[in-house]
A and B are shown apart, each in its own frame.
Chain A
Amino acid sequence: MRKIWDIPGGIHPPENKRQSNATPIASVPLPEELILPLTQHIGTPALSLVAVGDHVLKGQKIAEAGGALSAALHAPSSGVVKAIEDRPSNHPSGLDAASIVIQCDGDDKWTQLTGCDNYLSLDPSELLNKIHQAGIAGLGGAGFPTAVKLQARQKIHTLIINGTECEPYITADDTLMRQHAPDIIRGSQLLAYILGATQIVIGIEDNKPEAIDTIRQAAQSAHSAIDVVDFPTKYPSGGEKQLIQILTGKEVASGNLPADMGIVVQNVGTAFAAYRAARFGEPLIQRVTTVVGESLSRQGNVQALIGTPIKHLLQAHGYQPSNNSRIIMGGPMMGFTLKCIEAPLIKTSNCVLAPSHSEMPPPSPASPCIRCGLCAEACPASLLPQQLFWYAQAENYPALTQHNLFDCIECGACSYVCPSNLPLVQYYRAAKGDIKRQQQEKEKSDLSRQRFEFRKQRLAKAEAEKEAKRLARKKAAEQAKLKLANTGDPSAENNAASNSAEATLKTHSSNEKDSRMRNLASAQQRLQNAQNKLRTAESHDETETRLSALAAAVKQAEQKLREAQAKVDASEQASDNEQQNAQQTPQQSPQQSQQQSQQRTVDSLKKRLKAAEQKLAEARTNNEASINALQLGTEKLSAKLKDAESELNHIVASAKLNEEQTLEAAPQKNAAELAIEKAQAKTGNLSAMSRGEKALAQIAALESRLQKARIKLDKAQHEQSDHVDALRNGVEKLEQKLKQAREQGS
């Protein structure tokens, strides 16, 4: 005798097995149509191989496995494929599922099957393929594709054949064992051969003495060392983990599979089907099902075709709908209710339970949990159901996980004993679903966060590169300017070092024209810089005040550019500027010193920028973490902003000075210079203006520019110039800017 162990908890609900196990397995008349959902197993749906209108033979494959974890489907009878469509499913969700519907022709004509007399001489992989091709999925209820389970990577030493059938009412395995014991033994040997298992244990609860006897005899006559073990009846001994504990005393570690401890458990029905597949090439197209319940006039086990509508099955047993309020697929402990009886019988359907009203009255209302602990006493997994219930109500998911919610096998023992009639399992299922969903969402958000951070990094890098290039250009221009200034007259020193805002003050240098051209270039550069800054600031969501300040800077730079342009033009016209130059030079001196100090600040800022640039470059060459790069980016930004600020101040200051100067120098200026000074004054005014005024001025400036641009465009169009497109773009841009300015102004 093999030593057996006890499991903690467990219950003894009324067995209710007599109703169905007294008679041999009967048959059901062929239904008119068979409905075969493409998902009857755990895993990916099968892929249909037939089209509507195809004629199929009994046993013909109509859908193949849709992936590694999937099972094929076969026509349970001959007929025509009537439809491939969504039909009510045999699933707890009650949702419709894609199904192949076969209109039976009544001939029940078999396809050609390839059997094998000496199947044990075949290679295990070949047998595995036969089982795979036969579409066998765990017949005990879970529907795990059998071939996948038999392909365990781990070394398997023990095969346990589960004949426990601990659920009340169900006797499908019981009668199968009684009537087909030799085939079950052969099937067990076949499975052990495929697995390479050295030990076969068949576990049966002691409430099935006939089955135990026949299986023992069959095992003896097969001269095999199969261990047939009976153990005390207790629900849920038939759970995979519980059966392993009963037969080996070991527990499957949480999160592990039995295969991890060298054990594979298969249902007796699965062993039987595997034998039929290997020996006769017979696919899984029928199964033994218990049809039971007091709303039926005849109860018992039937050999039913997969796909038989439950309605057909019930009607064949004298179903009285008036005396029935729920149809349960499976047993009363773990079965689920059908939403409509048009759903078909599937591979995992071991029982159709149609109880009468008195047999299973509607549940009484739940009362509060009194923490009596009966549930904890009944739990086969040694959980604390009352605590889980408490936490499930509070949706305290961390506590639920900590209380091992996921080790709950949903056997229903806790709900069964609960004096408060609490639907505990329902709470656990809901909580499990919520936790899983939460985890999925967390994974998803983690992923998108990673993506976002990567994008940010990438953008910062691109920005830094652009900035580096820009600075390099600026520096080169600056150096060129310096060089030029050094080779020129003394006043050019000031000129080269100054901003474009001071451009007007250097109209009287000796090489006037050159310096003006340089001023023009530098003004252009400044405008570009200011625009860049504004754009970066915009993309970095700076405060409104800073944005408007920068926008004003851009405006001013534009103005300067125009002035510089005008000056260049003017210098060509003017010829008598020398005297004025001489007059103006002394006036310049205080301004010069100021400009020089400002120049120093700008220079130092530039240095800082350069240093930041270097740091960034270093970080890049050293492949430092992204954080460093980002930090440098921020540093740079702040430096840049400071730069902009100082520049702004600078411009304002110089503009004011210019204003004064204009007043002083006005009488001496020629017409061209007057125009320039006017523009200068306007700039000064602009900076002094309020925001609204500024906006208005801006709008006006833009309007005039737009007008000019339009005229140019018209001209170009008229002349059919090549620049039409570019000009049109320019006009469009200006229009946009104007619109924006108006929006801001309003």
Chain B
Amino acid sequence: MPLLNLSSPHAHSSNSTASVMLSVALATLPAALVLSYFFGWGTLINVVLSISFCLSLECFALYLRKRPILFYLKDNSALVTAVLIALSVPPYAPWWLLAIGCLFAIVIAKHLYGGLGYNPFNPAMVAYVVLIISFPLPMSQWPVAQSLQDANAQLPNFLDSLSLVFASRENIDAYTAATPLDVFKQNSSAMVEELYKNSATFSQAKFAGVAWEWVNLAFLAGGLFLLYKKVFTWHAPLSMLAALALMSALFYDGGSSSSGGSPLFHCFSGASMFGAFFIITDPVSSATSRRGKIIFGASIGLLVFVIRLWGNYPDALAFSVLLLNFAAPFIDYYTQPRAYGHSKKPPINSENTK
């Protein structure tokens, strides 16, 4: 047998795309469990539906693109997209909502751009934006948290849940309630202190908002696990949370009726932790260098706060992420790290303009 002629290095770490993706998918487990605890079967149905949609669409797209299906399916990237979509869509969302979301994420945002590694936008966030613009109603119908339930508002049982997802949605209003961000957004006159006393969402919460504080903590736990596993670096998540906290501190306004809410409230509400650790750390569509990641993360944190406070939507992660996805190549271009033996940053344009 002739000897192999290979280029160095001959050693390779055991790391693989599949294992990285699997870690990300697994790291969402705590949050999925917490969501299920507070909102019932809806989350799990979302996850199952989304995974089946995404994987079949992935197979279909790979088939159309004449790519080896199993080889690419095994990289688990579609799995991660599926889980992220499932967790960002409200539980008990109709099945077609998820189907449309998955279609946009996998076929349009991913494969039409060239598949894994070539998508300029985060597929899950593309799906979310398409859904919230096209179907604002089902996308904002978050169920009432279990701890807030009274006689009038009960979480549906498993069969009811299935019927909500696949059949009639007439009863959905019975199960929905405003999220903490909604409550804050709709507040027009009350001081923050009053609001916290009067609204059950806050009065029954430990530190941020009922249910959502725990969901965010679970995402934080999963994120820390990934950080420990060195799936990503601290730069983007920390800078996003720092920017969000800084902005909310600046606009807290002493807790007046026009206050934007406390830093703690903002960091542990809505999609803050989910975004910080699972969305903006998507390597494909974000900035690459350390400085670039800091700028990327901080800009997203800033935009999230701006849209939450002054925009039309209660939460703003998806829009902010997509906007910064646009800017990522630009950020990369200007944040090239100083290489060994170079006194300054490389001169931008020195070679390109030739």
Contact = CB atoms under 8 A, between A and B. Distances in A.
B336 A398 contact: no
A425 B9 contact: yes
B233 A377 contact: yes
Interface string A398-426: 11011110010010100111111101011
Contacts of B336: 384, 387, 403
B135 interface: no
Nearest to B74: A367
Interface string A347-380: 0000001010000101111011111111011001
A507 interface: no
B352 A402 contact: yes
A589 interface: no
Contact of A384 (B20, B115, B283, B337): B337
Interface in B45-96: 71-72, 75, 77
A254 interface: yes
A168 B11 contact: yes
B6 interface: yes
A351 B340 CA distance: 28
A193 interface: no
Nearest to A8: B340
Contact of B17 (A332, A333, A419): A419
A360 B10 CA distance: 7
A90 to B, nearest CB: 13
Interface string A304-344: 00000000000000000100011110101111111111000
Interface residues of B, number: 51
Given A367-B75, A380-B340, A399 B351 contact: yes
Contacts of A407: 339-342
A735 B337 CA distance: 75
Contact of B3 (A251, A327, A380, A418): A327
B15 A251 contact: no
Contacts of A423: 7
Contacts of A13: 11, 13
B284 interface: yes
B288 interface: yes
Contacts of B289: 376, 384
B4 interface: yes
B205 to A, nearest CB: 36
B337 A382 contact: yes
A404 B346 contact: yes
B6 A337 contact: yes
A211 to B, nearest CB: 23
B354 interface: yes
Interface in B286-344: 286, 288-290, 332, 336-343
A387 B340 contact: no
A253 B343 contact: yes
Contacts of B75: 367
Contact of A368 (B118, B232, B348, B351): B118
A398 B350 CA distance: 9
B116 to A, nearest CB: 5
A332 to B, nearest CB: 4
Nearest to A353: B10
Main secondary structure of the interface of A (DSSP, over half): loop
Task: Please indicate which of the listed interface residues A327, A336, A368 has the most CB atoms of chain B within 10 Å of its own CB.
Answer: A368
A399 B337 CA distance: 14
B287 to A, nearest CB: 9
A326 B7 contact: no
B4 to A, nearest CB: 4
Contact of A333 (B1, B9, B71, B340): B9
Contacts of B116: 367-368, 370
Given A376-B288, A382-B338, A335 B8 contact: yes
Given A332-B11, A416-B11, A326 B4 contact: yes
B188 interface: no
A321 B289 CA distance: 45
Kindly state the interface size class of chain A when it binds its partner. Answer: 35 or more
Interface string A81-100: 00000000000001000000
A367 B17 contact: yes
Task: Please indicate which of the listed interface residues A386, A404, A423 has the most CB atoms of chain B within 10 Å of its own CB.
Answer: A404
Interface in B5-31: 5-13, 15-17, 19-20
A382 B340 contact: yes
B254 interface: no
B257 to A, nearest CB: 44
B9 A370 contact: no
A415 B3 contact: no
B136 interface: no
A371 B4 CA distance: 29
Nearest to B339: A404
Nearest to A340: B3
A623 interface: no
B8 A251 contact: no
Contacts of B77: 370
Interface in A228-252: 241, 245, 251-252
A349 to B, nearest CB: 15
B20 A373 contact: no
Contacts of B347: 402
A289 to B, nearest CB: 18
Nearest to A335: B8
Contact of B283 (A168, A241, A254, A372): A372
A383 interface: yes
A583 to B, nearest CB: 79
A356 to B, nearest CB: 13
B260 to A, nearest CB: 33
B283 A370 contact: yes
Contacts of B340: 8, 241, 245, 251, 254, 380-382, 407
Interface string B160-201: 000000000000000000000000000000000000000000
B339 A254 contact: yes
Contacts of B9: 332-334, 412, 415-416, 425
A11 interface: yes
Nearest to B19: A419
A384 B351 contact: no
Contacts of B72: 367
A256 interface: yes
B339 A412 contact: no
A372 B20 contact: yes
B351 A371 contact: no
Contacts of A401: 351
A546 interface: no
Contacts of A384: 288-289, 332, 336-337
Contacts of A419: 15-17, 19-20
A569 to B, nearest CB: 72
B220 to A, nearest CB: 21
A326 B3 contact: yes
Task: Please indicate which of the listed interface residues B77, B118, B283, B350 has the most CB atoms of chain A within 10 Å of its own CB.
Answer: B283
A429 interface: yes
A370 B7 contact: no
Contacts of B343: 253
Given A335-B10, A337-B4, A376-B290, 11 more contacts: A256-B341, A333-B11, A334-B9, A363-B6, A365-B71, A370-B116, A370-B117, A373-B283, A402-B347, A418-B12, A420-B117
Interface of B: 1, 3-13, 15-17, 19-20, 71-72, 75, 77, 115-118, 230-233, 283-284, 286, 288-290, 332, 336-343, 346-348, 350-352, 354
Interface of A: 8, 11, 13-14, 94, 168, 241, 245, 251-256, 321, 325-328, 330, 332-341, 353, 355, 360, 362-365, 367-374, 376-377, 380-384, 386-387, 398-399, 401-404, 407, 410, 412, 415-421, 423, 425-426, 429
25 contacts: A251-B340, A254-B339, A254-B342, A326-B4, A326-B10, A328-B10, A333-B11, A334-B8, A335-B10, A337-B3, A338-B3, A339-B3, A339-B5, A372-B232, A373-B232, A374-B15, A376-B290, A382-B340, A384-B288, A386-B288, A398-B354, A404-B339, A420-B16, A421-B12, A425-B8
